[in-house]
């Protein structure tokens, strides 16, 4: 016979998990249902598939494509640089004070976005930014004559990398700390080289964490709007900016199409976050 679970344990579990389920219902489930209903209705409140069909229009598909390119480029580059920086912090033999300072900075920088970040990059790498002026004055090098433009795809990826690299450091550091010293010593005692350690031990253990963190960075960049809107305005037509124009704009005002576009973004970011959670569980099992 299957053991019976005491009733008071069930109610205690519901009581403890109640705030979480209430939060999830109010801020995750209900907005998603609202988008789902709005995507399949018109302005008169009648059922329609026109909003979903409009997702195949050229400007919408282009916006999705640009957003995917920006998100993938910033996620992959930030994952590589963030992993290298985290490795230097965890296993590079740096002083404890320096490591704590860098980790504290990463915690702040990972949340530094929006208008302040856009203004900081414009003041640094804009046409009259500090670095641009110094390069032109001291080295007679015109950064913008070389083809660089902060208000472009490359400039937006560079700006996103500021908080993406910091976030990667925070996410991947615990996984790097899980690499035990005994594993390297055992590899060395058996005649293995540093390359053998990375190829046969470290990377097989770390790849779920690195790939999962990359997916999380992708979702983080795909839904960002404040930084892109403050930096590029409408010159780079990424999906969040087009979505904003559909819901709040005066020219492209079509809220129900905006709901459909937002629903598509929810599916993309949801898939990325689901992949992250699955890889995170796989990584936890491997490290144990």
Average pLDDT, the chain: 86
Q: What is the pLDDT of residues 244-282, one digit of tens each?
A: 888 876 566 788 888 999 999 999 999 998 998 888 887
**Tokens standing for residue 231:** 């930096």
The Cα–Cα gap between 221 and 264 comes to 15
- Confidence check: pLDDT of 5 > 70: no
Which has more confidence, 288 or 127?
127
pLDDT tens by residue, 74-91: 999 999 999 999 999 988
How does residue 136 score in pLDDT terms, banded at 50, 70 and 90?
very high
Q: What is the pLDDT of residues 9-64, one digit of tens each?
A: 656 666 676 787 788 788 888 888 988 999 999 888 889 999 999 999 998 999 99
Banded pLDDT at 288 (limits 50, 70, 90): low
**Number of neighbours of residue 51 by Cβ within 10 angstroms:** 21
Mean of the pLDDT values across residues 198-217?
Answer: 89
Identify the band that residue 4 occupies on the pLDDT scale cut at 50, 70 and 90: low
Residue 254 is given by DSSP the state: -
- Of 176, 221, 183, 247, nearest to 77 by C-alpha is 221
Q: What is the pLDDT of residue 248?
A: 76
Can you give the residue ranges of every domain in the chain? Answer: 63-287
Give 63-287's CATH code, choosing from 3.40.50.2300, 3.90.380.10, 3.90.1150.10, 1.10.3720.10.
Answer: 1.10.3720.10
């Amino acid at each position: 016979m299957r053991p019976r679970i005491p009733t008071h344990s069930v109610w205690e579990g519901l009581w403890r998990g109640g705030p979480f389920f209430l939060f999830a219902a109010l801020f995750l489930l209900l907005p998603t249902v609202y988008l789902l209903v709005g995507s399949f209705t018109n302005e008169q409140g009648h059922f329609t598939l026109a909003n979903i069909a409009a997702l195949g229009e050229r400007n919408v598909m282009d916006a999705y494509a640009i957003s995917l390119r920006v998100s993938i480029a910033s996620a992959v580059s930030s994952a590589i640089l963030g992993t290298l920086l985290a490795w230097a912090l965890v296993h590079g033999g740096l002083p404890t004070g320096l490591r704590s300072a860098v980790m504290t900075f990463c915690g702040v920088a990972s949340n530094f976005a929006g208008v302040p970040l856009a203004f900081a990059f414009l003041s640094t790498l804009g046409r009259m930014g500090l670095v641009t002026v110094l390069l032109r004055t001291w080295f007679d090098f015109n950064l913008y004559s070389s083809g660089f433009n902060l208000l472009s795809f490359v400039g937006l990826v560079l700006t996103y990398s500021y908080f993406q690299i910091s976030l990667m450091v925070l996410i991947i550091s615990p996984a790097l700390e899980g690499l035990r010293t005994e594993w390297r010593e055992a590899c060395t005692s058996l005649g293995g080289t540093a390359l053998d350690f990375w190829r046969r031990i470290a990377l097989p253990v770390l790849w779920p964490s690195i790939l999962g963190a990359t997916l999380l960075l992708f979702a983080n960049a795909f839904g960002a709007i404040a930084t892109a809107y403050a930096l590029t305005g409408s010159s780079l037509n990424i999906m969040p900016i087009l979505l904003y124009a559909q819901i709040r704009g005066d020219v492209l005002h079509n809220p129900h199409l905006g709901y459909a576009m937002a629903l598509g973004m929810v599916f993309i970011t949801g898939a990325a976050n689901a992949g992250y959670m699955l890889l995170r569980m796989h990584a936890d099992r491997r490290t144990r």
